[in-house]
């Protein structure tokens, strides 16, 4: 929920003892300021949060580059690809979005998508390689990816 004064009160319900409860992880973008329409929009978002019984669960495996010049892979079912496409549209319009996905083992994760400007300082961002035998980043130099997000600071470590 964004763009209104109720945001802090709303999300405070999902935090306890300074720890966020995973089960309550939800993300709803409200591009409204009218208190009269907030409840209507939240109810609609809640109804859309669940999948129909016969609707496939969105499954998505993302395999990043192990090192320079290696391939990256995105393997997803149709449902996940449609949700990813819609999330990209939101990121293009509002600069960033969080999308909840799941691999085939059911261990859900959030995919954070950021649309940056053409003059973004790419050289300041740490490289995405994850094979530590081939590439060990200098963590004192590069900005970790979560630091690029502004809307989701509470959700990122």
Residue 42's Cα: distance from chain center in Å?
A: 19
Per the CB < 8 A criterion, the answer to whether 58 and 102 are in contact is yes
Provide the whole-model pTM. Answer: 0.66
Burial 76-102 (b: 16+ CB within 10 A, else e): beeebeebbeebeebbeeeebbbbebe
Query: Is beta strand 19-20 parallel, antiparallel or unpaired with respect to 15-16?
Result: antiparallel
Which of 97, 21, 108, 96 lies closest to 58, judged by CA?
A: 108
Per the CB < 8 A criterion, the answer to whether 110 and 43 are in contact is no
Alpha helices in 17-77 (DSSP H): 35-48
Please tell me whether residue 130 adopts helix, strand or coil conformation. coil
Q: What is the pLDDT along the chain (157 residues), one digit of tens a residue?
A: 445 566 666 555 554 434 333 444 555 656 666 777 777 777 666 665 555 667 788 899 999 999 889 999 999 999 999 999 999 999 999 999 999 899 999 898 899 999 999 999 998 888 888 888 888 877 777 788 888 888 877 667 6
What is the biggest distance separating any 2 CA atoms in the chain, rounded to whole angstroms? 56
Partners of residue 61 on adjacent β-strands: 75
Distances from the Cα of 82 to the Cαs of 32, 63, 89, 102, 107, in angstroms?
A: 25, 19, 11, 14, 20
**pLDDT score recorded for residue 126:** 87
**Domain range summary for the chain, segments of one domain joined by +:** 1-50, 55-157
């Amino acid at each position: 929920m964004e763009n209104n004064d109720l945001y802090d009160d709303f999300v405070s319900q999902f935090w306890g003892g300074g720890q966020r409860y995973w089960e309550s992880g939800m993300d709803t973008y409200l591009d409204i300021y009218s208190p009269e329409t907030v409840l209507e929009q939240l109810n609609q978002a809640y109804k859309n949060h669940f999948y129909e019984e016969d609707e496939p669960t969105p499954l998505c495996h993302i395999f990043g580059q192990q090192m320079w010049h290696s391939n990256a892979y995105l393997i997803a079912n149709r449902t996940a690809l449609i949700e990813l496409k819609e999330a990209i549209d939101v990121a293009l319009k509002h600069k960033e979005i969080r999308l909840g996905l799941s691999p085939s083992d059911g261990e859900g994760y959030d995919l954070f998508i950021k649309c940056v400007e053409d003059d973004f300082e790419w050289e300041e961002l740490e490289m995405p390689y994850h094979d530590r035998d081939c590439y060990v980043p200098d963590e004192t130099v590069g900005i970790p990816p979560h630091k690029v997000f502004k809307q989701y600071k509470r959700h990122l470590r």
